[in-house]
């Protein structure tokens, strides 16, 4: 069965809407009739506390899943780094799409790089991963929480609340804000989050018709890489709000996976682990991620 009419559940932030519109246009090109169901999630509403304290990034996903469960929507488009490592019973990741730039970006009106920031400069981020990675490079900086959607974060920076902020390059590029980027961090300097830059499409697991319809949108290279990255995170406890970085690249069938863990409560060196192996499928990629997580734990990560 070919699902002719498809409803996409989406958050209403500008970036989430771009992502949903992107999938909508790809599906329309394949002959589907597509509409959007805009929603506000708990993650969008709770702006005064860090996500790690109120339930993690899964707060951006829950309401969308309820819409899928109730049949008000057929699929949800997510930034994969916001998707919990284990989906609830009855849901499936039907498709992982081609990745945008997975790197982190420094945005600052005055300073052209992390190195150029003066001692004690205020840097905004709400990610524990970015906190520990920034501290490893520049322990002298003052790192302050930064919540809100992309436009809100940029506005707070422009109002002078921060000297610089760190954001995912992918979101800035997708919204045509690439010119705001002052420095792109190479993974060796600032390892990305698991799934960063990739879009995932979630459906109810019993929707075989939709899973088949979405198959042409999938990018296997990205899917293999993020399967390895997400497996590191899953094996380390599964939370998206963990001081953990994991980044994989694929060269032919050879997957290189790097991971890093830092302690947000105590200044100590990052624990790093890496591995390279040939992978044939998603299960093999995930097994590689599990092995890297074991190495992190052996090195003192928890």
Q: What is the band of 62 on the pLDDT scale with cuts at 50, 70, 90?
A: confident
Residue 74 falls inside a structural domain: yes
pLDDT tens, residue by residue, 107-128: 999 999 999 999 999 999 989 9
Q: What is the band of 42 on the pLDDT scale with cuts at 50, 70, 90?
A: low
The range of the structural domain enclosing residue 29 comes to 1-99+196-218
- In this structure, the answer to whether residues 81 and 206 fall within a common structural domain is yes
- In this structure, the answer to whether residues 63 and 114 fall within a common structural domain is no
Of the ranges 149-158, 195-204, 223-232, 265-274, which one carries the lowest mean pLDDT score? Answer: 265-274
- Average pLDDT value for residue range 285-294: 97
Per-residue pLDDT at 60: 67
- In this structure, the answer to whether residues 153 and 39 fall within a common structural domain is no
Q: Where are the beta strands (DSSP E) in 116-241?
A: 122-124, 142-144, 164-168, 181-184, 199-204
Give the active site residues. 82
Per-residue pLDDT at 262: 93
Going by DSSP bridges, is the β-strand pair 254-261/244-251 parallel, antiparallel, or unpaired?
antiparallel
Per-residue pLDDT at 240: 60
Q: Where are the beta strands (DSSP E) in the chain?
A: 5-11, 33-39, 75-79, 91-96, 104-107, 122-124, 142-144, 164-168, 181-184, 199-204, 244-251, 254-261, 271-278
Q: What are the CA-CA distances from residue 255 to residues 39, 217, 227, 232, 252 (Å)?
A: 37, 22, 11, 14, 8
Question: Would the pLDDT of 102 be above 50?
Answer: yes
Dihedral, CA atoms, 116, 169, 233, 57, nearest 10 degrees?
A: 110
- In this structure, the answer to whether residues 39 and 158 fall within a common structural domain is no
- In this structure, the answer to whether residues 202 and 277 fall within a common structural domain is no
CATH number at residue 164: 3.40.190.10
Question: What's the order of all strands across the beta sheet hosting 75-79?
Answer: 33-39, 5-11, 75-79, 199-204, 91-96
Per-residue pLDDT at 54: 42
- In this structure, the answer to whether residues 60 and 207 fall within a common structural domain is yes
Question: Would the pLDDT of 253 be above 90?
Answer: yes
Per-residue pLDDT at 55: 47
Question: Would the pLDDT of 53 be above 90?
Answer: no
Q: What is the band of 148 on the pLDDT scale with cuts at 50, 70, 90?
A: confident
Contact call for residues 272 and 260 (beta carbons, < 8 A): yes
CATH number at residue 259: 3.30.160.40
- In this structure, the answer to whether residues 64 and 27 fall within a common structural domain is yes
Residue 256 falls inside a structural domain: yes
- Average pLDDT value for residue range 140-160: 94
Q: What is the band of 298 on the pLDDT scale with cuts at 50, 70, 90?
A: very high
Residue 1 falls inside a structural domain: yes
| Domain count across the chain | 3
Residue 189 falls inside a structural domain: no
* Per-chain mean pLDDT for the chain: 91
- In this structure, the answer to whether residues 34 and 24 fall within a common structural domain is yes
- The residue out of 128, 161, 184 marking a domain boundary is 184
Per-residue pLDDT at 41: 62
Question: What's the order of all strands across the beta sheet hosting 271-278?
Answer: 244-251, 254-261, 271-278
- In this structure, the answer to whether residues 209 and 227 fall within a common structural domain is no
Q: What pTM does this model have? A: 0.90
Residue 27 falls inside a structural domain: yes
Residue with tokens 């409803």: 7
Residue 162 falls inside a structural domain: yes
pLDDT tens, residue by residue, 195-246: 999 999 999 999 999 999 999 999 999 999 999 999 999 999 866 668 999 9
Going by DSSP bridges, is the β-strand pair 164-168/244-251 parallel, antiparallel, or unpaired?
unpaired
- In this structure, the answer to whether residues 158 and 296 fall within a common structural domain is no
- In this structure, the answer to whether residues 161 and 86 fall within a common structural domain is no
- In this structure, the answer to whether residues 94 and 111 fall within a common structural domain is no
Residue 88 falls inside a structural domain: yes
Per-residue pLDDT at 110: 96
Per-residue pLDDT at 187: 95
Per-residue pLDDT at 3: 73
84 vs 2: which has the higher pLDDT: 84
Residue 21 falls inside a structural domain: yes
């Amino acid at each position: 069965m070919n699902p002719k009419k498809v409803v996409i559940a989406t958050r209403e932030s500008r970036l989430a809407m771009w992502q949903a519109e992107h999938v909508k246009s790809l599906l329309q090109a394949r002959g589907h009739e597509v509409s959007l169901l805009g929603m506000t999630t708990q993650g969008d509403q709770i702006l005064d506390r860090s996500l790690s304290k109120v339930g993690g990034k899964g707060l951006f996903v829950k309401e969308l899943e309820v819409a899928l469960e109730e049949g008000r929507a057929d699929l949800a488009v997510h930034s994969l780094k916001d998707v919990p490592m284990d989906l609830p019973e009855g849901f499936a990741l039907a498709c992982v799409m081609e990745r945008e730039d997975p790197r982190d970006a420094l945005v600052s009106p005055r300073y052209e790089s992390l190195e150029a920031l003066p001692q004690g400069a205020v840097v905004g981020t709400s990610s524990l991963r970015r906190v520990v990675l920034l501290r490893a490079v520049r322990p002298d900086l003052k790192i302050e929480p930064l919540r809100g959607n992309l436009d809100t974060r940029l506005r707070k920076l422009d109002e002078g609340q921060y000297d610089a902020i760190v954001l995912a390059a992918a979101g800035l590029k997708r919204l045509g804000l690439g010119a705001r980027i002052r420095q792109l961090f190479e993974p060796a300097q600032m390892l990305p989050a698991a799934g960063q830059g990739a879009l995932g499409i979630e459906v109810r697991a019993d929707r075989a018709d939709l899973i088949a319809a979405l198959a042409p949108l999938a990018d296997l290279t990205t899917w293999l890489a993020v399967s390895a990255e997400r497996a590191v995170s899953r094996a380390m406890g599964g939370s998206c709000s963990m001081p953990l970085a994991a980044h994989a690249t694929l060269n032919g069938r050879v997957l290189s996976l790097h991971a890093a863990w830092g302690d947000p409560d105590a200044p100590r060196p990052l624990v790093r682990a890496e591995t390279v192996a040939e992978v044939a499928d998603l299960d093999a990629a995930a097994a590689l991620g599990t092995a890297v997580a074991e190495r992190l734990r052996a090195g003192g990560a928890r």
